[in-house]
Structure 1
Amino acid sequence: MDLKHRLLQESFGYASFRPGQQKLIDAMLAGRDVLGVMPTGAGKSICYQIAGMLLPGVTLVVSPLISLMQDQVAALRRVGLSACLLNSAQTPEERRLAIRQAAMGRCKLIYVAPERLMQPDFAQLVNHLPIGMVTVDEAHCISQWGHDFRPSYRKIPEFIRSLPRRPVISAFTATATAQVREDIAQALGLHAPERLVTSFDRPNLHYEVRRVYDREAQMVRFIAEQDGSSGIVYCLTRKKTEEMARYLCDNGIRAAAYHAGMEPMARRAVQQNFVGGSIPVIVATNAFGMGIDKPDVRFVVHYGMPRDIESYYQEAGRAGRDGASARCLLLFDESDIALHEYLIGLDPENPALTDEEVEWLKKRRLERLSQMKRYVFTDQCLRQHILRYFGQEAPDFCGQCGNCEASSIEKDVTVDAQKILSCVYRTKEQCGADMLCRILRGCADVDICAAGYDALSTYGILRDAEPEDIAAVISHLISRGYLIRQENPHIRLRLSAGAKNVLFHGEKVRMRVRVSQKEARLARASSQSERPELSRELRKYRQKSAARHGIPPHSVFSDRTLEALVHALPQTEDEVQAVAGADGRAKKESKAILRVIQKYCSVYFSEKE
């Protein structure tokens, strides 16, 4: 067994490399630059960590977040690998100590923020270090075409040029279009890099978008259906994370807020409780999740629409990193779009940017927001939409997203469409979708009556329809170009030229609708709860074992192994070990796990199997 495979198995606990990992590691060990675009959960960090441990000299890992660096360094140290970090929270003496350890060969990986690279004290500290590789994590941050451009990343090439000898340069990201990939390679000056772009498809993730008017109730109902599984709720503002965490707790769901405005120790405690399993649900802003060692997240809820598809893909991708099934639900209304448009309109507070660069960035962000709007309004396959955005081919129908589940059928909605378009006309194109829906349902709200909309012939014309159904048809009319969403001076819907064909010339409007959303939810719940009593007992055992050994629950055995144990019902220790596969601790605890299964069988087998 060669050194890289030994590290993989003995330190990281994996039996074999995932697709593409070995190719990139071999390239780095051969002294070649690399560019790896791999989705969340595909094992980017293992590539540069193993290469960094085996290359001569020290590897500098440039990373954007202190919390991300702390988590990765702690994880490496737990498995006996030498790593340290340099950040602004340390004293000068602590930073000098870390550099001395690296100079003596006691620290192979040094994590550092990009802002520190060009500081004089850092240059002095690393001046005599044998730097064998510079790894740029979250490399999309260097690209002005990317969704999270950070001017500080543009200093990295200057730092590399200042080194006595050019090191190997490796760049990794989870989200990059073809244009962003080229920009990364050019900005970093990569020399004929080994490139790997793995599939952006995450087949174990179920995507769903719901345009709703009762987000809180929908969120609670959805999380309650997950039977205590771990999950993340993403909110657009810090204030909203705290409000929603309280709301979930008030509704019997253990949850905690996490955002950058909290004290570092409080943030750390919440994160540790989430990873450890004592808090199953965390409500966070988008900074949470990067590099978090929590592969058994079973769901991600977006309480609000992210600003672009890259952000959504990255955040949703924090679910199901263990390969087991997970759900990604996006709850939105039009106020989310207005918030993003407002924030994009604000001048970025960064003196490093010229006025021209500021305007260019605003234009790019509005373009990406437009792509995100297309995603939430489409009635086509959501998986296809994501994959094609990143330039990869995808079938028209995946069968496992909210828009193309087996329970959906194509329906003629022409009559409802005509009523909606007529209402837009009669309100003189002055209303947004939410107001339009309330008029069509006949709501006696003060603003509706004050505007005289309650006297229109279309007032209450869809009184018996569910608000979600009206919203779905409105979304379909927008996505098909019959309605145009105008955003200045306020959000309102206008009729396109094509709307006349539906109103007056007999053009039909058809869309896919669910036969029964309730039936679809029940079917999914049934498929996910095979032998629920045994599943609960194994989860209890895993939690107790994790607490006893001071490790996260997923380190005892993964959700995928748990599902396999529930399905296989092994009856001997050898069978338990065979099911556990590469889960090392599950093999060690096979006797205790077998007792849990045998106890279940003695109570339930004759009745339920």
Structure 2
Amino acid sequence: MPELTLDAMLSQADASARAKLGHGLRPLQRETLAKLALGHHVFASLPTGYGKSLCCWAPAAAWGWRTWVICPLVSLIEDQAMACAELGVRAVALHGGLSAEERGAREAGLRDAEIVFISPERFLLWWESGRLSALQAEGAGPNLLALDEMHCFEEWREFRDAYRGVFGAIKRVLGSGCQLLGLSASLSEAHSRAWMEEFAGPHERVAADIGREKLILRVIPMEEEEERWLLLPILLREINPGDSILIYCATRAECDELSRWLGSLGHLACAYHAGIPAGVRAERSRAFRAGQLPFVCATAAFGMGIDFPRVSRVIHFSTPYDLESYWQEAGRAGRDGRLAYAISLWRRSDITRARRMNERQRGRYYDLWKAWLEGACRKRAVASALGLSMNDCGTCDRCASSRDDLPTWLNAASSLRRGDAWWTEPAANGVNWAREKIFSGQ
């Protein structure tokens, strides 16, 4: 049987997308799949909400490729597998949260699966036990290995052993002729290039501009701890029925405290973090997706890679750790294409978080403080961190001097700023102060 041409393969993928989603391939999806079809390893930096998951399941559904996807979170693994099943793509989800009986049942269907979603820990175990190499020897191993949320290799390797140990396993699987697909909306060009070179060597790249024109970024600086608690109820005003608000906190304790406090104000809110039992987390995630839980106070991993509909606001209750994480988390608002807001409450005292960081993390934290103190357009600062270029967005708090177009709730919150405060000092003074504080660990 003759090999299919590139045009024929893309036509098959487009037809599969139309049959399952009701629309054809988007331009960057088509470009990513074209490079895979030509036999390249590929890194794709696609905007949040653009449809990275299609680049994983389309080769399986349209071309018959056996695809394995390494995912960082159990909730993401289960959600992606469920979404594929709903589209008619045979999927298996493997992770450490399964009982022995559940794991056995799922592994029994592995050879019939078109796509496998697996945690890095389970992938490493499959390699070390020889089971993955046995599958490859039988011709049943993966043709395509996708690294979803690839920024986790950069950000989580310090505290999650599997993101260090899985290196060798990935390289050996790729050595058998398997192709690599790296996916992230927030991994910088320099870091993504380094990781792809480490894993696969020469590769092709697909990158978009930062996009998300309807996502409005606002940073609200403040002096005192109490100001956060004063501002937050204002930022939660005028919520449309069915809309959801995602509030990111720095610690588990902060999630718990904030959710209890919101409950005392009459809001239906809950905490979400790794210290909560998996079953409870899954139920809260389902309720949030269904619009039954309007407020979630969460640590950074919540919502990663999942398109929660109707998230109209993302609020950072504490300063994010770096510009890449900031964009990853902010981008969970407005994925349904409606106007949405990402608001960060920026405290001077957050600078002390650098005490718990290593040198690499401090450098990334400093880059965020420097960008915010220098007064750059919020989106342009993010684009620069990702190795992209763009003009000023015209809508963030640095670009838009007028408040006439702001909703009343955001105007009220922004009006509480004090005029004579640390963020109004000359930018050079603030940057020098931040550099000294962050790198000295004081």
Where 1:300 maps in the other structure, the secondary structure is strand
Which residue of 236, 243, 251 corresponds with 2:250? 236
**1:402 aligned onto 2:397:** yes
**1:110 aligned onto 2:99:** no
Q: How far is the alpha carbon of 1:200 from its aligned partner? A: 1.9
Structure (1 or 2) with the larger CA radius of gyration: 1
Q: Is the 8 A contact 2:43 2:206 kept in 1?
A: yes
**1:296 aligned onto 2:246:** no
Q: Which runs of 5+ in 1 are unaligned?
A: 345-361, 410-464, 493-609
Which residue of 434, 437, 440 corresponds with 1:487? 437
Give the number of the structure with larger relative contact order, counting CA–CA contacts within 8 Å between residues 6 or more apart: 2
CA distance in 2, matches of 1:234, 1:52: 35
Aligned to 1:469: 419
The residue correspondences of 1:164-183 to structure 2 (distance < 5 A) are 165-183=176-194
CA distance in 2, matches of 1:20, 1:158: 30
Which residue of 215, 236, 240 corresponds with 1:227? 240
The one-letter code matched in structure 2 to 1:195 is R
Give the number of equivalent residue pairs: 409
The residue correspondences of 1:247-266 to structure 2 (distance < 5 A) are 247-266=261-280
Give the direction of change, closer, same or farther, for the CA distance of 1:383–1:467 in structure 2 (3 Å limit): closer
Q: Is the 8 A contact 1:71 1:291 kept in 2?
A: no
The one-letter code matched in structure 2 to 1:332 is W
Where 1:118 maps in the other structure, the secondary structure is helix
Aligned to 2:169: 159
Where 1:290 maps in the other structure, the secondary structure is coil
Give the direction of change, closer, same or farther, for the CA distance of 1:489–1:178 in structure 2 (3 Å limit): closer
Q: How far is the alpha carbon of 1:323 from its aligned partner? A: 1.9
Q: How far is the alpha carbon of 1:32 from its aligned partner? A: 2.4
The one-letter code matched in structure 2 to 1:401 is C
Give the direction of change, closer, same or farther, for the CA distance of 1:483–1:369 in structure 2 (3 Å limit): closer
Where 2:206 maps in the other structure, the secondary structure is strand
Give the direction of change, closer, same or farther, for the CA distance of 1:379–1:293 in structure 2 (3 Å limit): closer
Aligned to 2:204: 194
Deviation track 1:431-468 (CA, whole Å, cap 9, x = no partner) reads: xxxxxxxxxxxxxxxxxxxxxxxxxxxxxxxxxx9762
Q: How far is the alpha carbon of 1:488 from its aligned partner? A: 8.7
Aligned to 1:49: 57
Give the direction of change, closer, same or farther, for the CA distance of 1:182–1:482 in structure 2 (3 Å limit): closer
Q: How far is the alpha carbon of 1:262 from its aligned partner? A: 0.7
Q: How far is the alpha carbon of 1:285 from its aligned partner? A: 0.8
Deviation track 1:520-560 (CA, whole Å, cap 9, x = no partner) reads: xxxxxxxxxxxxxxxxxxxxxxxxxxxxxxxxxxxxxxxxx
Q: Is the 8 A contact 1:96 1:125 kept in 2?
A: no
Deviation track 1:27-59 (CA, whole Å, cap 9, x = no partner) reads: 223432211111321211111111132344521
Give the direction of change, closer, same or farther, for the CA distance of 1:488–1:244 in structure 2 (3 Å limit): closer
Deviation track 1:381-440 (CA, whole Å, cap 9, x = no partner) reads: 222222222222222x4321112214179xxxxxxxxxxxxxxxxxxxxxxxxxxxxxxx
The residue correspondences of 1:84-483 to structure 2 (distance < 5 A) are 84-92=92-100, 94-103=102-111, 105=112, 107-119=113-125, 123-126=129-132, 127-128=134-135, 129-142=140-153, 146-149=154-157, 152-163=162-173, 165-190=176-201, 192-212=202-222, 213=224, 214-228=227-241, 229-338=243-352, 340-344=353-357, 362-395=358-391, 397-407=392-402, 468-471=418-421, 474-477=422-425, 479-481=427-429
Give the direction of change, closer, same or farther, for the CA distance of 1:160–1:55 in structure 2 (3 Å limit): farther
Give the direction of change, closer, same or farther, for the CA distance of 1:175–1:304 in structure 2 (3 Å limit): same
CA distance in 2, matches of 1:403, 1:21: 32
Q: Which runs of 5+ in 2 are unaligned?
A: 1-9, 405-414
Give the direction of change, closer, same or farther, for the CA distance of 1:79–1:199 in structure 2 (3 Å limit): same
Where 1:330 maps in the other structure, the secondary structure is strand
Q: How far is the alpha carbon of 1:2 from its aligned partner? A: 3.7
Give the direction of change, closer, same or farther, for the CA distance of 1:157–1:275 in structure 2 (3 Å limit): same
Q: How far is the alpha carbon of 1:483 from its aligned partner? A: 7.8
Give the direction of change, closer, same or farther, for the CA distance of 1:118–1:227 in structure 2 (3 Å limit): closer
Q: Is the 8 A contact 1:116 1:122 kept in 2?
A: no
Give the direction of change, closer, same or farther, for the CA distance of 1:27–1:381 in structure 2 (3 Å limit): closer
Q: Is the 8 A contact 1:61 1:137 kept in 2?
A: yes
Give the direction of change, closer, same or farther, for the CA distance of 1:343–1:123 in structure 2 (3 Å limit): same
Deviation track 1:171-207 (CA, whole Å, cap 9, x = no partner) reads: 11111222112212211114x4231011123211101
Where 2:293 maps in the other structure, the secondary structure is coil
The one-letter code matched in structure 2 to 1:227 is N
Identity of aligned residues (%): 26
Where 1:210 maps in the other structure, the secondary structure is strand
Q: How far is the alpha carbon of 1:119 from its aligned partner? A: 2.4
CA distance in 1, matches of 2:301, 2:428: 34
